[in-house]
Every structure is written in C-alpha cells, then in structure tokens.
Structure 1
Amino acid sequence: MDTAPLFHSSLSLVRYLTNTHKRPCCNSTPSRVSKTLDMDDLLEALLLGFSNSSSSSLDLSLERLLESRACDSDKNQVIQSALRLGSVLQEAAKKSERKRASMHNSITWPLPSDLTVKVFSMLDTQSLCHSAATCSMFNKCAMDPLCYANIDLTSIVPKVNNTVVCAMIHRAGKNLQSLKLGILPSPAVTTGSYRPMAYSINIPVDTSVFSWNDKRSRQGKESCVLTRSCLLSLSMDSGAAGALLRRLHLYNIDRMDNVALCTALSACPSLLDLEVVGLHVELRQTLGSVSTNCHFIERLSFESSKTGRDDSLKSPTCIDLVNGCPNLTSLALRGFKLQDHKVRVLVKGLRKLKFVDFSTSYSITGSFLRILGSGTNGQLLEVLILRDCMHLQEVEVARFLSAVLAGDCKLLRYLDISNREGLASEKDWYHRIYVPSSIPISRILEERPELCLLAEFPPEGSFVEIEQLIDSEVNSDTSLPSQLSSQTSDGSISMSLSESSYNSDQGSGNEDGQSQSASYATYEDSSDEVEFLVM
C-alpha cells in the first residue's frame, strides 16, 4: 500500500502546527485566507490518505517523522503537536456531528419551534432538563423562559442547591408562575396501631397526600442544600421574578428563617397559593407578611415544624389576615396552638372559606363550631378536618352535628373528627371518650348520605399515661407550668391556668371570641409570650 500521500500530508500538517505554535500569529507571512486554504488542503489530504490506510500506517509515518528529528526536544514537540492535533480534530468532529444531528432533528421533528416550546412548558422540571440534554435543537427550545413558568424542584432526597434555584428563576424571569422547593414528606399512611371505629360514606374530597408532621431525614451533601437565600432571586430586579408568581410551595427547608420567607413574600403580590411545611418560621410573622403583601391569596396551607410548640399567633394577626386576605377559600393551619377564640375570628371573618383544616392543633376544643351555620358563617364550607386535635370535645362535635342535621352547613361534604387518643370530655380533657355515644352518627348517615363522616378512634383504655403524653407533645424546654397540667404532691392532677382557659373559652358562647366576663392578659418571659384568659 502506498503510504506516501499519508506520510507527506501528516508531515506537512504537523510541521504547520509546530511552526504555528512556535511563531506568533502577527509574524506569520501568509495571509489569513491563504492559511485557511492551506489548512483545508492539508486536512483533506490527511483524511483522504487515512481513509485508504490503516492505523499501523499512521504509526509508521509518525515513527519516521520522529526519526527525522535529531534531538529529543524536537521529538517531544512533534509528539505533543500530534496529541493536540488529535484532540482538536476529535472535538471539531464531535461538534460537526452534533450540528448535523441538530439539523437532521430540526428537519425530521414535526413541530415548529413555538409549538415545541409550548410542549416543553408542560413538562415537569426534571423531564425538561433531560430533554434539554438530548440535542442542540431541544436545548435551544428548552431554554425559552416559557418553559420555566412552573418550576418544581422538590424531591425525596436533597438534589439541588441555591445556584440551581436561582438559575431556574432567572431563566423564567417575568414568566414565573409556580415555584416548588424542598424535601417532600412521605405519602400519608393510615395508622395501623389500633383498630379504628370508622363511619364513612364515599370520599368526595381528595385531601392532602402528605402526612402531617412527617419528620423526613434531611441529610445530604452540602452541595445539595437549600439555605435562606434560595428565594433571593424573587426579590432581585425590583421583584420582577416574583411579580406574577401565583403558587409557592416550600417543604422542609431547614435553613429558611422568618426574614428570608417574609422578604420573599413581599415580592409576590400576586400570590394565590402558599404552602409551607416543616420550615422553622413563626406562624405570626408569616401570616402577618401574607396579610400585608398577598391580598389576592386563595389557598393558605401552613404546617408547623414543631407540633404543639408554636403559640405565636395573636388575635390582632387573625384580624389582619381576615381584612388583608378576603379571598381565602382554603385555610389549613396544622400543628399549632390555636385557641378557639382565635379560630373563631378566622372562620367568622373569612366568608369564602370552603376548606378548613386544623389537624393536630393542640388547644382547639371545638367551641368555634357554634358559629358555623349561623347567618352567613359556614354556608360555603365543604371540607372540615379536625383530626387528632387533642382537646376536641365530644359535646362540641355533637352540638355541631345536631346543627348540621337541622339544616346548617348544607354544602358540607367531608368531616374528619378522628383522634388517635379519643375525644375529650367537656369537664376534664384527661377523661377520653372512645365511643362517642352522644354524636348522632346514625342520623347523619341516614339524613345526610352525601356527607363523608370520618370518625376513627382507638379501643377504650389505649390512652397513654399523662407523663408520656407531655413528653411526646411538648418538648422538655417548653415552659410547662404555664402551658400544661401539673401533678400535686399527693399524686392528683391539677389544671394550670392556661389549660383551664380552654374550657372557659368554649363556654363563653360569645361569637366575637371574647367573653363579657373575661379579659385578656399577657404574660411575658425571656422565651415566650403566652396569651390566655383570666376569669
């Protein structure tokens, strides 16, 4: 086989690269056009010569070229030039291959670019990123801001950091409408520790798919951790990205704080849907920011990261929320200390409420239920969830269901009063009721067949010891004397002032949330501010 053309083309090309590497471009004598033509001719000769030869012929040509060099430095320079040539030639070939593939895809792809962008905008964020890595044409379409109108970066384990979030928000720009971040809770599972007594007809409402107060493991690499500045891009450029944001869902972002969340909310005046789960933020500050900045909000779902310990909500904050967010149709506040007089302000003032969820709220007795159905209150209510409210009393539930049978809350389709510890007695919440005989369940089943009544209770006698209950519901660093019952020296149990206030509040019967014979007092210490009723 004649290897002369390959040898001469290889020799010329290597010499050309070597001389070009040695001499500055400004000192080269050929013109740029002449150099380009020379390069084309040399490359063509090399490729044509190599197509008719084997790799061994190229090896022999390179060996002969090395032998023509006298000193080792020149030989090393030839080898390095050959390596650079191979690398540059390989990269150029790959680039040309991608370009031709993109041209082929653009010809064979049946959709125009604008329609392709529309299709990509319907993909979830992960699928969009995978599509962008397919080819240059898809990558170009996937970079369109419309594709990032709905950003979902939630996952079971940490996968993204602040840089990724900021890049996505920057791509969306003013087109951003929905943003979901954080570590998702596990899907809700039914409790299998007891055999429940359940009464239900149909399931007309799809409740939350997330379990309440799910403590997910949030361990992960530091490079995949979201911090308080992950929402900073919403406020940049005078809040351009957050101006049209409609939906914001945040799950289990440990390093998010009150200031960062409130700053982000201040940049989202068009927000309609806010969901916060497992963030270490205060209920009062968050609701205050929502009522100040998000006047069009329709759905608010907030779950405490510390069940039963956040007692920050005050009556003025409830009033501000009622006045600042009159369009609320769905309200879920789970795992907080919510006294009935505060809940009464919310339920009575928010006239458009259809969905209410106060699950795992520590202080609700159910006295606020008395205002539902009276006048315009509760007439639009479709879903009411009071699951695992520790102080929920049987007598209040029975009174409410009697009002429902009398014609109140005609649109109510779903009611959940289940409790893993049974319902509380009217006089002593330590006395648990596992078979609620006073609740007209049979009549409800007969007269309101469209209503799904969920009432799951454990067998009688499964209520845990009071000391265990205190340990599980309230952290040991909480101020127990002002919030929980104490045990006297003779072993009997006495109720503290704040505990007795639950009963005094539910017995007031005053719809404005304040008893005429009671006044508000505030006790302040170095850690908390506790609001209670003084008779």
Structure 2
Amino acid sequence: MAKRPCHSSSENPNLPSCFSQMDHVLLSFLSLADSSPPVSLDLSFDRLLDSTPSDADQALLIDRAQVSVPSSSVPPIAPLVNVFSMLDSQSLCHAAATCWMFNKCAMDPLCYENIDLTTVVPKVNNAVVYTVIQRAGKSFRSLKLGIVPGPTSSPGSCEPLVYIFQNSVDVSSFSWNEKKTRQGKESLILTRTCLYPLSVDNGTAGALLRRLHLYNIERLDNTSLCMALAACRSLLDLEIVGLHVELRQTLMSVSSNCHLIERLFFESSKTGRDDSLKSLTCVDIVNNCPNLSSLSLRGFKIHDYKVRILVSGFRKLKYADFSTSYSITGTFLRNLGSVSGGNLLEVLILRDCMHLKEVEVARFLTAIIDGDFKFLQHLDISNREGLASEGDWYQRSYNSSIIPLQQVLEVRPNICLLAEFTSDGCDLNSEVSLPSQLSSHTSDGSLLMIREQLQ
C-alpha cells in the first residue's frame, strides 16, 4: 500500500503516531516557508536572545543553536574570536549588538584580555568595569580606565593613538548634562570602588593583571588604590595620571605588593605640592622592585637626594622622567655615571624643572664628554622659564655660555639633545623633531632637537 504524503498539522491533524515532538516542530517550520512575509530565522533567533534574561542564558541558547545547526552552515567561531580580540572595548560592545553570531564571539574571554574603558567624557560606571572583568575570566591581563584628553591622531589614521598627559583633566569642569544619564539609569561616573573587582574572590582578577592605567578618576582615593594594588602581585606596568592620591602611599603599596613591576609612570594632579615622599620609601621600592627599567615621577616636589636614591639604586633603569618636578636642582647628577644604576640610562627627561641649575647641567654634559653615560640616547633639559643661576634661582639663564652643547654633539653625534629655553631657542642649528618611540612620554609642546651635522 502506498504511503500518504505528509501534510502540515493544520491541514491534516491525523499525523502518524510515530512522529516525535521534533518532527512536529520541523513540519511546522517547513509549512511557513511560503508564508508572506517570509520567515527570517536570524530575526527570530535575535528576538529569542533579546527575551533571554541574562548573559548566561543567552550563551546557553547560542550553544544549543550551534549544536543543532549543521557545522557546514555555521561560520567557524575561533577565527572570528581572534579578530574580535583585536577590537577596542567600545567597538566590541557595538559588534556584540549586531547579531547572535557576533554576540557569541564578543562574549569570549579572549576578547577581554586587554580592556580599554578610557573615554573623553564620563561614559563608564562601576557596573561596566565589573561586567567586563568578569567576562575576561582567566584571560584578564590589562585594564585602562578613566578620562583622557583625547587622541593626538584623527580617526581613520593608520598611526597608533598616542595619549598626551601634559596636564591632568579637571573632571569637575564637565557639565552636569555630560555627567548625568537618562532618567532611571545608573550614573556614568566611576566612584572610589571602581577597582573593587580586582580584589574580590581573594584577588583572583587582580592576580592576573599585568598592566593597569588609570586616568583622572576624581573619586579614587588612597585607600581604594592601595587595596587594588594589594591584589595586583603580578603587575608589570602601572600608569597613574591625575588621581588625587599621595605619592608616598602609592609607592609604599607598589613596594609591598608589585615586586615584578617594570614600568611606573605617575603624574601628579597637584603639580609641585605633593612632597610626601620619604627617603625610606625610596630605599624600600629600590630593594623590593629590582626589575624596574622605566620610572616617571612628574610634577612632584622631590629633592635631589631622593631622586639619586632612585636613579642610582635601580640596577636596570633605562628611562627616567622627572619633568615639572619642583625641587630638583640637578645635584643628583653629580658622579651619577660612576654608579651602576645611573650609568645605564638611555633616556633622561628633566623638562620644565623650575629649580634646575645651569651649573649642574654644565657639569653633567661635561661628564658625558668625558665618557660617562655611554648608553644615553635622549636628554631633555628644556625649560620655558630658563635655567636657574648658581647663586639665586630667581635669576634665569636662557642662552647659557657655560653649557657645552656643541662639544657634546661633537663627541656624541647620535645623541638626541633637547634644549628649548625660549621661543628664540639656542644659537646652534636646530630642527623640530620628536622620535616616535618617545612620543608617548613627552609633552605636546614643540621640541627643539639640537643635532649639529658635522662636516
């Protein structure tokens, strides 16, 4: 006897008893193939995702869909995840809202290995920070957070974005309309507990962190920062700009917890007013953080003998930046080339140090001529107010006759020597230039690179 053709359940409710529930679902779906308007599986699946209450339930639904659909019709996830992992955090969020496949890729922990939540105006709150760190899981390695002045390159440029931190951003200057959100929504302001996710679960997330950059978070205080650093025992790179935190307490916390640190960049939010650093703190961080190779302490009131402890103590130090430091006169440079720490310096930046003395700069350059500091490649002694005279720092020198610039360039023609004192500059031939590898560490003002071309 010939078998009867199958019909939809609406046309023929007497289907064979052997039909399973899945058979009925498939038959119902096929009966809609010629409907008007046509059925879109993607749209239906997106609606199901939108109706799902939590991220975990959404992930479960996506996993079930992938198991049910033949692998030949589903794009491979792994290559997409590799691409998504290269996106910045904001682009990742936009991609996640595109379709269920992109959402699946955007939920992969690898996409959150390097989290960048920096913005030009306040757009991020504590809940966002917690969510993305949780999504990162064991892949978590880097966190950038806070308010930045903005990139130096325009959107679409092939050059990497370089953020300049010559002056801290005053977040209080933003209007209330920029800070508040739509009625009923949580405020988009980071509070003092924004780094709390690093410390939860016995510091599980903090222990994974290698790089932490914090910019102009006005509510973050000493206690909150030190609590976060206590969890970051594998931290290699710490950058702090515009936070209302004390230098001494921060360095003490780094010294106690971050023994592997290699780079420390700290710019004061109160230029010339933080004189909290003690000699004992300098000794402790030198002894406890032996791998430090890059040190920037900008805008602090640090005396020469403390600077000398730091520069001469770190055995691997290659980069030192004390720009806009208030109390430095330059005496720490004396005989610095004879100690193992200072003699390894490749970059030294003393830009706009108000009390930097002309005579100390002259002694330092003479030491270079005599053969010290063989590894030094970049030196910045520029000062908008000129250099201080020996007897009275109120007397300023703008075109020194005792500083042997010409002789240094004759002995070390490959050194990059920056000596901008006024708009008129020095008498030597000069050209405006800035090595690209140093652009992220220097100010955005024009720089005079004095490089005499010897005949």
- Cα displacement string for residues 30-69 of structure 1 (whole angstroms, at most 9, x for unaligned residues): xxx9999999999999x799859xxxxxxxxxxxxxxxxx
1:221 aligns with 2:179: yes
Q: 1:287 aligns with which of 230, 251, 274?
A: 251
Q: 1:177 aligns with which of 141, 157, 161?
A: 141
For 2:79 and 2:423, the matched residues in 1 are separated by 59
- 1:5 matched to which residue of 2? none
For 1:381 and 1:151, the matched residues in 2 are separated by 32
Aligned CA distance change for structure 1 residues 108 and 456 (closer, same or farther; 3 Å) = farther
Greater C-alpha Rg: 1
2:294–2:320 Cα contact (<8 Å) kept: yes
1:336 aligns with 2:300: yes
1:133 aligns with 2:97: yes
2:304–2:327 Cα contact (<8 Å) kept: yes
Higher alpha-carbon deviation: 270-279 or 314-323: 314-323
Structure 2 counterpart SS, 1:449: coil
Mind listing any 5+ residue stretches in structure 1 that lack a counterpart? 1-8, 10-32, 53-89, 190-205, 461-535
Structure 2 counterpart SS, 1:438: coil
2:168–2:216 Cα contact (<8 Å) kept: no
Aligned CA distance change for structure 1 residues 444 and 134 (closer, same or farther; 3 Å) = same
Percent identity at matched positions? 64
Structure 2 counterpart SS, 1:307: coil
Q: How does 1:144-293 map to 2 (within 5 A)?
A: 144-186=108-150, 209-217=163-171, 219=174, 220-222=178-180, 223-293=187-257
1:125 to partner: Cα distance: 1.4
Structure 2 counterpart SS, 1:356: strand
For 2:24 and 2:415, the matched residues in 1 are separated by 86
Query: What is the total number of aligned residue pairs between the two structures?
Result: 377
Mind listing any 5+ residue stretches in structure 2 that lack a counterpart? 1-9, 11-18, 51-61, 154-159, 181-186, 425-455
For 2:86 and 2:45, the matched residues in 1 are separated by 35
- 1:439 matched to which residue of 2? 403
- AA aligned to 1:250 is L
- 2:364 matched to which residue of 1? 400
- Cα displacement string for residues 191-245 of structure 1 (whole angstroms, at most 9, x for unaligned residues): xxxxxxxxxxxxxxx9x84132233445232421111111100001111111121
Identify, as 1 or 2, the structure richer in helix.
1
For 1:177 and 1:166, the matched residues in 2 are separated by 14
- 2:415 matched to which residue of 1? 451
Q: Which runs of 4+ in 1 moved over 4 A?
A: 33-45, 47-52, 90-94, 96-99, 101-110, 186-189
- Cα displacement string for residues 478-518 of structure 1 (whole angstroms, at most 9, x for unaligned residues): xxxxxxxxxxxxxxxxxxxxxxxxxxxxxxxxxxxxxxxxx
1:346 aligns with 2:346: no
Aligned CA distance change for structure 1 residues 140 and 355 (closer, same or farther; 3 Å) = same
- AA aligned to 2:124 is V
Aligned CA distance change for structure 1 residues 183 and 105 (closer, same or farther; 3 Å) = farther
Structure 2 counterpart SS, 1:373: helix
Q: How does 1:290-439 map to 2 (within 5 A)?
A: 290-439=254-403
Question: TM-score normalized by structure 2?
Answer: 0.75
2:168–2:241 Cα contact (<8 Å) kept: no
1:380 to partner: Cα distance: 1.5
- AA aligned to 2:80 is T
- AA aligned to 1:138 is F
- Cα displacement string for residues 70-91 of structure 1 (whole angstroms, at most 9, x for unaligned residues): xxxxxxxxxxxxxxxxxxxx98
- 1:503 matched to which residue of 2? none
For 1:97 and 1:169, the matched residues in 2 are separated by 22
For 1:292 and 1:157, the matched residues in 2 are separated by 34
Q: Which has the higher contact order (CA 8 A, sep 6+)?
A: 1
For 1:272 and 1:232, the matched residues in 2 are separated by 19
For 1:106 and 1:271, the matched residues in 2 are separated by 41
- AA aligned to 2:179 is K
1:282 to partner: Cα distance: 0.3
